[in-house]
Amino acid sequence: MSAQASTAGQPALTPNALTVLEKRYLKRDTSGKPLETPSDMFRRVAETIAEPDKKFDKKADVKKLADRFYEMIVSFDFLPNSPTLMNAGRELGQLSACFVLPVGDSIEEIFDAVKFTAMIHKSGGGTGFSFSRLRPANDLVKTTTGVSSGPISFMRVFDTATETIKQGGTRRGANMGILRVDHPNIMDFIMCKADQKLFNNFNISVGLTEKFMEAVEQDEEYDLLNPRDKTKMGSLNARKVFQRIVNQAWENGEPGIIFLDRLNRDNPTPHVGEIESTNPCGEQPLLPYESCNLGSINLGRFVSEGAIDWSRLKGVIHDSVHFLDNVIEANKYPLQQIHDMTHSNRKIGLGVMGWADMLILLGVPYNSDEAVKLGKKVMQFINDEGHAASRDLGQKRGSFPNFIGSTFDKKGALPQRNATVTTIAPTGTISMIANASSGVEPLFAISYVKNVMDGTKLVEVNPTFEQLAKERGFYSAELMEKIAEHGTVHDLDEVPADVRRVFVTAHDITPEDHIQMQAAFQYHTDNAVSKTVNFPNTATIEDVENVYMLAYKTGCKGVTIYRDGSRDEQVLSTTKKE
């Protein structure tokens, strides 16, 4: 696992990681043959991202910094998001994973957004949109005296464009579609993915307001508003709408929900604009035309002799913030508007992967109060040190240009280089490269099969478990097969009780445990936390409803659930279902 990664200048790559890098990350010739090794790639990234230091200090020792960045990446202490690994130092040069584009209420604006989406997807970025500004279906169109097709119909255009671009891109384009709960077409939006053939390039979330949530609690009606002029177009019972959302999520995992007022309460630059959408996986709220680059610290690498190595962690946090701030400089943006917005807020998203690995190495079960407390403490440390690093940079390089009038300015804060510093990304691919558990998720299974692009199937066995089984003398090929069948060890007597206690998987823990952990990390995260709450197939609609309410009550910014077996295709699955 991650703790075994080499620190001698060469990456310790699993066969799976090597396959992913060769297929999608390394420079290749026209016949598809790699033109660089993984360490060449990490060197290319480190050198490109160290270079901008010269802009701020002519005497900067860029070579020394590149060596430090290289060491941090090659050892898998830290990895930037995929587009930085793929594109840094190459012609495309687009380094961000997250974008939000505005969709205005005119044909010109809608199709501009479609074009911009295609440009972003081509470069490996993901796009989020709010469709809430679009007039509802059957509303009047003045210029043609016809009627509008409405937001869901226009979403199809984005979906089809994404499907087409996917064929030429390095990774599948992803979209987030958001509609406010007070939009007149909200019921159709909630149902728009009920047919599993539709909108496969979209994650959808309903944008909930505090007013709506209060109406749910009071079992009251709330108003539907025409976005064009805010006139009332009807009203609905809030509880019924909430239940429809929950029913649909139970049925096939979507829509998710996001709490719009919470995103805006934490908007550091309300004087620049209102937040209406997040990136595709929900962890990064952004203003229209903003982009953000993410990076994740691999927590499994920071356990030494059964304890957290706080001082080494602090050093890597500071270097990671420095790295991500430099990414903003080295980045080649697909549009001038995106360049300008990104440079004026300078948002970065430092997060974690390997949280479940860290807990295992510390001997703490994921579903324990101790784990929740520790999660809060670790994230507070990263957030505090991350902000300290951003202040240091602010003193040397100046605050982000929109600082005046920002919430930092209003609090009388010191210079701050970045409007946001922390975000918990899913780390879907980078955790695989680092052989770490993903984001703040529990282990999905002790052994599982992962489907990646092109239908390739990769078998993963948790390496810490394998190592431990060998050391403790309970390893056998038959047992490993049995575990792969089960996807869990909790009911296997062959595995010692203390090992079973710590090796809990996503399905061994309750949905409430998932939410408690999400809330613990959210507490000290500027942006949001990417997290999937897993339910067994037998979960009831009420179970899902309770979790949506719990997410609201515990201060989460949104929630995404998945009930096992509720969709035809699953990205992750245990071997049992193959």
Nearest approach, Cβ of residue 174 and ligand CDP (Å): 4
Q: Residue 398 is which amino acid?
A: G
CB of 243 to ligand CDP, least distance (A): 28
Query: Three-state DSSP class for 129?
Result: strand
Q: How far apart are CA 183 and CA 179, in angstroms?
A: 7
Gyration radius (Cα) of the chain, Å: 23
CB 437, min distance to ligand CDP, A: 13
- What is the rounded distance in angstroms from the CA atom of residue 143 to the CA atom of residue 149? 14
For residue 303, the cross-strand partners are: 308
- Cα–Cα dist 410/299, whole Å: 34
The first and second tokens of residue 498, run together, are 């203390």
Minimum distance, C-beta of residue 534 to ligand CDP, in the bound complex (Å): 17
Query: Which two three-digit tokens encode residue 333?
Result: 């943006």
Q: List residues near ligand CDP by CB under 6 A.
A: 81-82, 97-98, 125-126, 171-172, 174, 279-281, 283, 294, 425-430
Report the residue closest to ligand CDP, judged by CB: 126
CA–CA distance, 227 with 133 (Å, rounded to integer): 5
Nearer to ligand CDP, 18 or 60 (CB): 18
CB of 324: closest distance to ligand CDP in angstroms? 13
C-alpha closest to that of 307 among 208, 374, 405, 398: 374
Q: Which is nearer to ligand CDP, 203 or 367 (CB)?
A: 203
Q: Comparing C-alpha atoms, which of 508, 525, 526, 522 is closest to residue 551?
A: 522
Q: Which residue, 98 or 181, has its beta carbon nearer to ligand CDP? A: 98
In degrees and rounded to multiples of 5, residue 11 shows phi and psi of -75, 140
Catalytic site residue 175?
A: no
Torsion region of 565: left, alpha or beta (phi above 0 gives left; psi -120 to 50 gives alpha):
left
Measured from the CB atom, the residue of 182 and 441 that comes closer to ligand CDP is 441
Residue 283 among the catalytic residues: yes
- Provide the minimum distance between the beta carbon of 353 and ligand CDP in the complex, in angstroms, as a whole number: 8
Q: Which of the residues 81, 185, 203, 279 is marked catalytic?
A: 279
User: Nearer Cβ to ligand CDP, position 452 or 484?
Assistant: 452
Write down the catalytic residue from 276, 283, 290, 460.
283
Q: Cβ closer to ligand CDP: 17 or 186?
A: 17
Closer residue to ligand CDP in complex, CB, 185/342: 342
Q: What is the DSSP string of 508-540?
A: TS-HHHHHHHHHHHHHT-SS-B--EEEE-TT--
HEC secondary structure over 269-316: CCCCCCCCEECCCCCCEECCCCEEEEEEEEHHHHEECCEECHHHHHHH
* Spatial contact of 232 and 225, defined as CB atoms under 8 Å apart: yes
Nearest distance from residue 202's CB to ligand CDP, in Å? 12
**Sequence-ordered list of residues with C-beta below 8 angstroms from that of 33, at least 6 positions apart, any chain:** none
Q: Which residues pair with 178 in a beta bridge?
A: 130, 205
Which one from 98, 281, 292, 556 is the annotated catalytic residue? 281
Minimum Å gap between C-beta 479 and ligand CDP is: 31
**CB neighbours (10 Å) of residue 528?**
29
CA-nearest of 521, 406, 423, 408 to 96 is 423
Nearer to ligand CDP, 97 or 236 (CB): 97
Active site residues: 279, 281, 283
